Structure 1
Amino acid sequence: MPARNRFAELHAEITEWRQDIHANPELRFEEYRTSAKVADLLTEFGCDEVTTGIGLTGVVGVIHGRKKESGRVIGFRADMDALPIPETTGVSHASTNPGTMHACGHDGHTAMLLGAAKYLAETRNFDGSVVLIFQPAEEGSGGARAMLDDGLLTRWGIQEVYGMHNWPGIPAGQFAVRDGPQMAATAFFELTVNGRGGHAALPHKAVDTTVAAAHVIVALQTIAARNIDPLKTVVVSTCGMRSDSNTFNVIPDEIKLRGTVRYFDPEVHETVQKRLREIAELTAKAHNAEVYLDYSPRVPPTINNPEAAARAAEVAQYISGSVIREFDPVMPGEDFSEMLAERPGAYLFIGNGDSADLHNPSYDFNDELIPVGCSWYAEMAERRMPLG
């Protein structure tokens, strides 16, 4: 039976897995229920090997083909973690964990790879081995690096690796993959603005951290606007501001600002990091305040190997009849880049249709993608490792 027909039969079952994971979201490195469900299903499918605890809460499954004469080993990766966002979708499978939801579709990614695993374990129509990688903590917490440090690539002899992410705004079921950079490198920063707290009615006796912090936020926008070549790409965003004050009439001693930097060019990154510190320190000083910077580079840009991207696109074209090959890189980051930095491979987008954006409280994964995404994994395994 062709893979697409089998996934049409399995659609309802895979959707049930997806919606169960959605209803029970778990944050980074806390994916205990999710990883247990994944491991149980892989065992039920008859995978040749199922290993838990890789990268703390990651799971690795192995399926050998009818032959192993080619010696080829291909890895497919899905992420499992949710986000600290209260859900507002109102769907029947909405999160039962208050303040936590699958707002990025990792529940769908996990379900699609599980569906592919079930089919590949049933058919084994390939010559080589498939390694199924279920990764924790993609959302800014180093889950890929944790799995790599636990020997993911060497322990299972993975030679090339592929991943997939849903993308709102692309027609449902359509694929997109480009050569070279597809997603940005990321860094996080925290600025601690210190002053002298006091009564809001007597600001002249205080050093107002709120005013200083507000000026720092505005001044940081000049980095991209005035310090970086307009033909190069960078994003500097201050995304949060908090203090220990919870009343209306207290000027706080301290305010913390948190944000992120997104870039492709290492020289741009050096300039951003330097100017971020200088602008923050001097702007705070102009308001008699002090500032301390905690700067943390996270992941490199997600760079597709051109040959691997071409192979991925060929299969995507066969599955969906439509694949976008020419598009601008996007500024979100993805720690799958850590794996691509060590092995050739590619990262694809699969359209989620006209849905809410990623990381939005009203987002939900489009279950109509499931047969398409599953079919891509299955077809990729069979084409890269043909039986004869």
Structure 2
Amino acid sequence: MTAEPKDILAEIKGYEDELIAIRRDIHAHPETGFEEVRTAALVAKTLRGWGIETHEGIAKTGVVGTLKGTRPSNNRAVALRADMDALFIEEKTGLPYASTVPGKMHACGHDGHTAMLLGAARYLSENRDFAGTVHFIFQPAEEGQGGGRLMVEEGLFDRFPADAVYGMHNNPGRAVGEFGIRPGPMMAAADTWTVTFGGTGGHGGSAPHLATDPTVVLAHFILAVQAIVGRNIPSVEPAVISVGHVSGGSAGSPNIIPPEVVVSGTARSYSPQVRDTIERRLRETAEGLAATYGCTAAVDYNRRYPTLVNHPEQTDIAAGVAARIVGEDKVATRIPLITGAEDFSFMLEQRPGAFIMIGNGVNPDGSYHYVHTPHYDFNDEILALGSTYWVTLVGQELGVQE
């Protein structure tokens, strides 16, 4: 492709209002993981309207559009991915296009991600002077349900072969017109765990000595689990273990020692060795404490999303593309590790690629609404910029025959 980023941006700006309308329509009708029926239908209809070969029903509600360039090609292909699902959050923005679905909200900006990739698809459908193939991946169920994993398991890259795959996420707190990325591990592996402590229970007032009390084990475990990172993980290796849920007994019978209590939480890490250590020590801690107090411990450790690892070559390509658009001084290439997780990591395990952050803006006083909060909203000001990034990336990857 010969077009300069400024010219690409100007052309996309010409239909920016249409992208905003799409984004806000999706925002007003949020659909959570594997239920993105309306959103997927909108995406598929829009792609077909631009003459793009479109495939539906991938990983239940996923959509992939395929577009071939007009230049002579050696069959090189790249894949660009956007996520489509919303969250179980009650929106409190008060915006005219706020969620019309109680308890569901696009609180992570996937509505914007979808609109940005559609903007790029439109431009490329009208300007096909590239060599090779672009696959536009619209993924369901990123928010904790692993739609990316399911797409890979269903043979995403067998059906749509790609030499590289790229992703992008909006970043509240980073200024509009700025990008951030880092090579190697960038986002954490995300695991969940649940421990069920069992005992006999009993009357907590008249005969606690006759009970085997799992609540005592629970209390010690919650404190002890915080020592796993501090005393088992090297201090140069970031890791987090947090408790998010505790249940047991009945509020109506506080004098009864329950026979069973449950505690669950999350663990985050960046290396396979640390991940292994966390799982092993969490299990050993639970079982050891339970044995000490005559109880049992059933441990369920669920490895959910792997570490998102950017490949060096594709990271350089992504950063270079962003720099062409906004200037090198606006692209941070060594951003800090992010403890959030992303199931784009499953795709990066299968193909070389990179994941970049695009600034969603920050208020003059330094404040902003972060993702996964009820007041968050995607910034429409970056729609055309994000689309331009995708188009320029395709030009970089497929602009000439190799």
TM-score bucket (shorter structure):
over 0.9
**How many angstroms apart in 2 are the aligned matches of 1:88 and 1:181?**
34
Q: Which residue of 2 aligns with 1:334?
A: 342
**How many angstroms apart in 1 are the aligned matches of 2:74 and 2:347?**
23
2:354 paired with 1:346: yes
Percent identical: 45
Q: Which residue of 1 aligns with 2:36?
A: 31
Structure 2 segments unaligned to the other structure (5+ residues)? 363-367
1:341 partner amino acid:
E
Q: Alignment partner of 2:350: what SS?
A: coil
Q: Alignment partner of 2:314: what SS?
A: helix
2:32 paired with 1:50: no
Q: Alignment partner of 1:130: what SS?
A: strand
Structure 1 residue corresponding to 2:260, chosen from 254, 275, 297: 254
When residues 300 and 65 of structure 1 are mapped into structure 2, their CA distance, relative to the original with a 3 A threshold, is same
Q: Which residue of 1 aligns with 2:152?
A: 148
**How many angstroms apart in 2 are the aligned matches of 1:139 and 1:7?**
29
2:303 paired with 1:303: no
Q: Alignment partner of 1:330: what SS?
A: coil
2:73 paired with 1:69: yes
Displacement after TM superposition at 1:277 (Å): 0.8
**61-70 vs 334-343, greater mean Cα deviation:** 61-70
**How many angstroms apart in 2 are the aligned matches of 1:81 and 1:23?**
12
Count of aligned pairs between the two proteins: 387
Q: Give the conservation status (yes or no) of the 8 Å contact 1:182–1:303.
A: yes
Q: Which residue of 2 aligns with 1:368?
A: 381
Displacement after TM superposition at 1:172 (Å): 2.1
Q: Give the conservation status (yes or no) of the 8 Å contact 2:184–2:309.
A: yes
Q: Give the conservation status (yes or no) of the 8 Å contact 1:236–1:260.
A: yes
Q: Which residue of 2 aligns with 1:18?
A: 23
TM-score, scaled to structure 2: 0.90
Structure 2 residue corresponding to 1:236, chosen from 234, 241, 244: 241
Structure 2 residue corresponding to 1:215, chosen from 205, 211, 220: 220
Displacement after TM superposition at 1:263 (Å): 1.1
Displacement after TM superposition at 1:378 (Å): 0.7
**How many angstroms apart in 1 are the aligned matches of 2:62 and 2:40?**
7
Q: Alignment partner of 2:189: what SS?
A: strand
When residues 222 and 51 of structure 1 are mapped into structure 2, their CA distance, relative to the original with a 3 A threshold, is same
2:98 paired with 1:94: yes
**354-363 vs 171-180, greater mean Cα deviation:** 354-363
When residues 208 and 81 of structure 1 are mapped into structure 2, their CA distance, relative to the original with a 3 A threshold, is farther
TM-score, scaled to structure 1: 0.93
Structure 1 segments unaligned to the other structure (5+ residues)? none
Displacement after TM superposition at 1:224 (Å): 0.7
Displacement after TM superposition at 1:176 (Å): 0.9
**145-154 vs 88-97, greater mean Cα deviation:** 88-97
Q: Which residue of 1 aligns with 2:365?
A: none
**69-78 vs 357-366, greater mean Cα deviation:** 357-366
Displacement after TM superposition at 1:203 (Å): 7.4
Tell me the alpha carbon deviations over residues 281-320 of structure 1, each in whole angstroms, 9 at most, x when there is no partner: 2334445543211111123211111111111111101112
Q: Alignment partner of 2:340: what SS?
A: strand
**How many angstroms apart in 1 are the aligned matches of 2:251 and 2:138?**
41
1:190 partner amino acid:
T
**How many angstroms apart in 1 are the aligned matches of 2:356 and 2:190?**
19
Q: Alignment partner of 1:352: what SS?
A: strand
Tell me the alpha carbon deviations over residues 108-127 of structure 1, each in whole angstroms, 9 at most, x when there is no partner: 11111111111111121311
1:42 partner amino acid:
L
Structure 1 residue corresponding to 2:231, chosen from 226, 232, 242: 226
Spell out the pairing of 1:86-235 with structure 2 (5 A cutoff).
86-197=90-201, 204=208, 207-235=212-240
2:386 paired with 1:382: no
Displacement after TM superposition at 1:353 (Å): 2.0
Displacement after TM superposition at 1:201 (Å): 5.1
Q: Alignment partner of 1:276: what SS?
A: helix
2:124 partner amino acid:
L
Q: Give the conservation status (yes or no) of the 8 Å contact 1:244–1:252.
A: yes
Q: Give the conservation status (yes or no) of the 8 Å contact 1:68–1:129.
A: no
1:146 partner amino acid:
L
Tell me the alpha carbon deviations over residues 19-47 of structure 1, each in whole angstroms, 9 at most, x when there is no partner: 22122222211211111111111111211
**How many angstroms apart in 2 are the aligned matches of 1:386 and 1:327?**
28
Q: Alignment partner of 1:118: what SS?
A: helix
2:118 partner amino acid:
L
**How many angstroms apart in 2 are the aligned matches of 1:368 and 1:52?**
30
Q: Alignment partner of 2:107: what SS?
A: coil
Displacement after TM superposition at 1:89 (Å): 2.4
Q: Give the conservation status (yes or no) of the 8 Å contact 2:271–2:307.
A: no
Displacement after TM superposition at 1:100 (Å): 1.9
Displacement after TM superposition at 1:197 (Å): 4.7
**How many angstroms apart in 2 are the aligned matches of 1:142 and 1:350?**
22
Q: Alignment partner of 1:97: what SS?
A: coil
**How many angstroms apart in 1 are the aligned matches of 2:376 and 2:206?**
45
When residues 244 and 97 of structure 1 are mapped into structure 2, their CA distance, relative to the original with a 3 A threshold, is farther
**How many angstroms apart in 1 are the aligned matches of 2:49 and 2:250?**
53
When residues 222 and 124 of structure 1 are mapped into structure 2, their CA distance, relative to the original with a 3 A threshold, is same
